[in-house]
Amino acid sequence: MDANSFRTVIGLEVHVQLNTESKMFCSCSSGYADSEPNTLVCPVCLGMPGVLPVVNRIAVENTLLTGLALGCQIASESKFDRKNYAYPDLMKWYQISQYDMPLCGRGSLKISLDDRDKQIGITRVHLEEDTAKMIHGESKVGHKISLIDANRSGVPLMEIVSDPDMTSPEEARAYLTTLRNILLYLDVSTANMQDGAFRCDANISVWPVGIDTGDVKVEIKNMNSFRAVFKALAFEEERQSEVWVKTGQPPEQETRGWVEASGETVSQRSKEYAHDYRYFPEPDLPPLKVTDQLISSLRNAMPELPDSIYKRLIEHCELRSSDALQLIDDRPLLLFFDEAVNEYAQPQRLANWMLNNFVQELRDSETDLASNPVTPQRFVELLQLEDDGHINSKMTAELLRRMVTSGKSAKELVAETGGQITDDDELQKMVAKIIKDNPQAVADFRAGKKQAAGFLVGQVMKATKGRANPGMVNKRIGKELGL
């Protein structure tokens, strides 16, 4: 068997923390990011004796919304189940999850790769509760200790399971970024992978072409970024092919963990020790009825999703495809664009200035869209100043920089420093002075060094602090030099 005769099958399980105000089964805040450990807890999410869960309606709705966005079959009746396993971070030693009647059944997600579209099947989307966080360390006197922070315990967690439809790490990455964008546009999660709001486990198996795919698969965990998912899958693709080449047998079915530092996956446990979760229906929660009325109101409330935004940007705004994708990938930026384009008739020019200069200025001044003072209205005002000839493009760039740092509008800044100089007499005087002050350059030009003209134009611009109309200066210099 040679390395080219394999095909890869990848399925992804994504866990998404929903950004609801309260937890899944109690009224504790689910926004634990900046909280002291064990401060956002109550008897319910601590699993104290005698407590009962109450379903967070918003979490159910957000899960249904996600299901609708993924074209899933929505269950008219769903239920919760207890998933039993013994681990200290699980307060009740069972997790309330969904087993055989998830809120959302079959659906699909369209990914685009190298300008080709592909549908990835969605197996199911269900709702469950997050566990507490375990922190392992050492005490001051050197004892090994394990600490528990239960703030995360009971935060709503939505699990999205894909079919094993992806055939490369690239497709897996495209699936994840597409899915993440949809979640962001639905506004159901921060979908931040570093914070653990978006987690991904992967199943991957590599099979020789021509042999039917078996059900042996390797599960990979501990991937904390899209990059890690990509690298882990690429590593695993190669490792499994090597096993085939060496042994002629499929790789062992097991769970492996991605180790970022060494860039490899290592065996965690084999499936022989697979859990028996002993699922059974959660007796503390009656079955959930999903009414047609709820579904239609959710459909009505469905925000515009990346796919149709892309279409709109291409068809109505006539943006370049890459610009449209860049905007969609940065939702705040897209919202900024949408607001600005309402008042500005040149979408591509708007996109150019936003994606090139504005994004760079924000980065340079270490600020972001939300906290910088430039509003879409001010941005449009700036572009219009140039369109109307009040400023030149150099000034536009300079003004944008100063707008970000000073908090002033383009008009205010122009009023302070003056607009573009277009007065013929004034420009004539300046050009004459520059010609007079730079005899060497003039001589060079006459000797055939054409670029000396550019130098002279530059000198005029410098003298006017960029305010001179560069086209007019160009013309005048040419005239003076006898072109």
Partner 1 sequence: MTAHEASGLLRNREISSVELTEAVLERIGQVEPNLGAHISVTSDLAMKQANAADLAIQEGVVHSLCGIPIGLKDVLSTADVETTCGSRMLEGFVPPFDATVVGKLRGIGAVFTGKLNLDEFAMGSSTENSAFHVTKNPWDLTRVPGGSSGGSAAAVASYECMVSLGSDTGGSIRQPASFCGVVGVKPTYGRVSRFGLVAFASSLDQIGPIARDVEDAAILLEAISGGDSNDSTSLHVEVPNYCEVLGRSIEGLRVGVPVEYFGSGLDDDVKELVLKAIDQLADLGAEVVDVSLPHTEYALATYYLLAPAEASANLARYNGVKYGYSNLESVDVSDMMASSRARGFGEEVKRRIMLGTYALSAGYYDSYYLKAQKVRTLIRSDFDEVFQNVDLLAAPVSPSVAFSLGDRIDDPYEMYMSDAMTIPASMAGIAGLSVPCGFAEGLPVGLQMLGPALSEPTLLQAAYAYEQEAKILFKAPSLDV
| Residue ranges in contact with partner 1 by CB under 8 A | 43, 46-55, 82, 84, 86, 88, 91-94, 146, 148, 276, 278-280, 283-286
CB of 161 to partner 1, least distance (A): 20
Q: Which is nearer to partner 1, 291 or 451 (CB)?
A: 291
Q: State how far the Cα of 385 lies from the Cα of 337, in Å rounded to an integer.
A: 18
Least Å distance, CB 87 to partner 1, is: 9
Query: CA of 450: how far to CAs of 86, 220, 416, 447, in Å?
Result: 81, 63, 36, 9
Q: Are 38 and 149 in contact (CB under 8 A)?
A: yes
* Residues 45 and 25: beta-carbon distance below 8 Å: yes
Minimum distance between the CB of residue 88 and partner 1, rounded to whole angstroms? 5
The Cα–Cα gap between 468 and 391 comes to 9
Residue closer to partner 1, measured from CB, 46 or 351: 46
Helices 306-315 and 321-328: angle between axes, nearest 10 degrees: 140
Asked if 350 and 396 count as a contact pair (C-beta separation under 8 A), the reply is: no
Q: Which is nearer to partner 1, 130 or 361 (CB)?
A: 130
Shorter beta-carbon distance to partner 1: residue 37 or 419: 37
Closest distance of CB 126 from partner 1, Å: 18
Q: What are the DSSP calls for 413-447, one per residue? A: HHHHH---B--HHHHHHHHHHHHHH-HHHHHHHHT
| Least gap, CB of 254 to partner 1 (angstroms) | 19
98 vs 95: CA distance, rounded Å: 9
11: nearest Cα among 87, 104, 122, 112: 122
Nearer to partner 1, 58 or 369 (CB): 58
String of DSSP letters for 139-176? -TTS-EEEEEEGGGTT-EEEEEEE-S-B-SHHHHHHHH
Whose Cβ is closer to partner 1: residue 121's or residue 281's?
A: 281
Kindly state the smallest distance separating residue 290's Cβ from partner 1, in Å. 16
CB closer to partner 1 out of 91 and 452: 91
In Å, how far are 414, 426, 439 from 433, measured between CA atoms?
25, 11, 11
